[in-house]
Chains A and B, each alone.
Chain A
Amino acid sequence: MVIRRGAFVIKRMPGFTLVALACFFALYMPLAPLVVYSFNEGNNIALWEGLSLRWYREAWDNELVQSAAIRSLVVATVASVIATVLATMVALGTTRTRPYRGQTTIYALVNQPLIVPEIVTAVALLILFAMIKQATDYHGYAYLISAHTAFCIPFAYLPIRARLEGMDRVLETAAADLYATPWQAFKRVTLPLLLPGIFAGAMLAFVISLDDVVITEFVKSAGQDTLPTYMLGQLRRTITPEINAISTVLLTVSVIMVTLIFFLSRKKAK
């Protein structure tokens, strides 16, 4: 016991915990005014005029902003799921392999959406999709979802690739030696090991899609405003606390989800 007291904790790095906690604090601090102003009586996001639920009522009555919020969530979910699946496949095809012709091209293509400013992709997509829309008379969500999926791929790809690069082949080789089919080896060995990377990638893709404004603005068809494009339209006039109210609701939903996951995983652990 006496020895334990001054025990040398291997994982400890001096100051790291402090920086990490400060970082979490900094991540959440700006949310305080955001939430506070959602209860503002006045119609401004930086000028306090008294406590009221006015903007929650307005958001509740405003079909436009509600459908925009739901649309944002659905598009982000669908696009990030597809992007993560595709990104996992590319990552498996481009890491831990002997170099092959075309590998660099694949790498460049996958990362390309990161590099081009959004407005450029947006204008190019506008022109391309407008031609398709005129030819097919289809105005649905496939355009938005394919555009979002495309720019989400690199965000999902890089964490997954980083994870894969650090993974040893030994276990998979062992599985193969035990006559596992490649699919079995993947499902039982690679995938579970890869999961943290996939999880991180999917979450990045989700928030990136949720935030996109410029590409959405140019690609959307009639009646397809998302929360960010709805807000962009407000930028020149006044941004009202209605958006704060909606954001607060979204935050609450996400916090509830995290809490649920926490308790579910605890149950499992037991």
Chain B
Amino acid sequence: MATDNLEALAYKKEVKRNWLLSTPALIVLVCAASGPLLIMVLFSFLTPGDYGGVKWKWSTEAWFQVAFYKDIFDDTVTIADAHLSILWRSVRLSFLTTLTAFLLGFPTAYFIATRPPETRNIWLFLVTIPFWTNLLIRTFAILEIIRNHGVINSFLLAVGAIDQPLDMLFTDIAILLGMTYVYIPLMILPIYASMERFDFRLVEAAYDLYASRWRVLRKIILPLVKPGVIAGSILVFIPSLGAYVTPRVLGGGKNLMLGNLIELQFGQGRNWPLGAALSLTLLAIVMIALIFYVRSAQKDGGGHGH
């Protein structure tokens, strides 16, 4: 009985400590990020103002428009296929971006983590230095690289790998390359952070048991750095979904992504309630996925750290 009480007391103390540690950040977040979002929840139930903004008149029209499309010409109601195809394009490109960033970022993080300790921070800095320049100028630099007379095509033509320039600019490939470039540090750094203290004696032990390199990678290294991989994937996937500048510049602006669609409602479309409803929908989808992930992570990591 006594130990039970002690245990309960310790638990209480731990929870209190956790809340104390979290409070300062929560205050900033609630004041400057989540709190203001309540304004958006409110807006999504109002009527669009004539020239942007909102009118204080209750309406669920915006939520209806997220999923359904009332034809402007004959008033027939259908599923909003324009919104769906934009959502699908965004999800597909974001997924491919995350995958590419992982395939390139994992070996890079591994490489950095296996350097001598005193040079690791230098390598990390090298990853972030290109990002000291402005996002727009970086995107334009990529445009310069992949255009028809750009560096890649000139090189491939010179070595004779192709005899016609590859038409990459203003395609989904261009967007994919651009987004990978923009977001790859968000993959490398978290993976590195969880890999840096990796105990290579484990690997040694595995080799002693005649494991192949591939098996070591899959069965020992990957599971242990999983938190970093997941953190990196979240950091790449979610911002890609709402990306705005890169798709616009490298995609030639012909096709919208989710970020552009929402921006349109707050800008020239002058339909703030729809913009609010669209982004809350996006928020809900991602939040559900994240919470689902946290719950399942808690389940299989339950005994972690005792």
Chain A: residues with CB nearer than 8 A to chain B?
A: 8, 10-11, 13-17, 19-24, 26-34, 37, 45-46, 82, 86-87, 89-90, 92-94, 96-104, 106-121, 123-125, 127-128, 146-147, 149-151, 153-155, 158-163, 165-169, 193, 196-197, 199-201, 203-204, 206-207, 210-211, 213-214, 227-228, 231-232, 235, 239, 243-244, 247, 250-251, 253-255, 257-258, 261-262, 265-266, 269
Contacts and interface: CB of A to CB of B under 8 A. Distances in A.
B292 to A, nearest CB: 10
Contacts of B37: 112, 116, 120-121, 124
Question: What DSSP secondary structure best describes chain A's contact surface?
Answer: helix
B124 interface: yes
Contacts of B18: 93-94, 97, 100, 103
B118 A265 contact: yes
Instruction: Find the residue from B31, B118, B279 having the highest chain A CB count within 10 A.
Output: B279
Interface of B: 11, 14-15, 17-22, 24-26, 28-37, 39-40, 103-105, 107-108, 110-112, 114, 118-122, 124-138, 140-145, 151, 181, 184-186, 189-194, 196-197, 200, 203-204, 207, 213, 217, 224-225, 227-228, 230-232, 234-235, 238-239, 242, 244-245, 258-259, 262-263, 266, 272, 275-276, 279, 282-283, 286-287, 290-291, 294-295, 298, 301, 304-306
5 contacts: A98-B14, A151-B33, A239-B137, A251-B133, A258-B126
Given A106-B22, A125-B36, A165-B227, A34 B138 contact: yes
B197 A196 contact: yes
Contacts of B245: 213
Contact of A232 (B136, B225, B239): B136
Contact of A119 (B22, B28, B34, B259): B259
Contact of A16 (B107, B134, B189, B279): B107
A203 B232 CA distance: 14
Contacts of A112: 29, 33-34, 37, 283, 287
Contacts of B192: 196, 200
B305 A109 contact: no
Contacts of B129: 251, 254-255, 258
A195 B204 CA distance: 26
B220 to A, nearest CB: 12
Contact of B134 (A24, A211, A254, A265): A211
Given A112-B34, A123-B272, A204-B186, A247 B25 contact: no
Given A34-B138, A250-B132, A251-B129, A168 B193 contact: no
Contacts of A16: 107, 110-111
B121 A199 contact: yes
B107 A161 contact: no
B146 to A, nearest CB: 9
Contacts of B136: 213, 228, 231-232, 235, 239, 243
Given A127-B36, A153-B25, A200-B124, A108 B287 contact: yes
Given A30-B181, A258-B125, A93 B134 contact: no
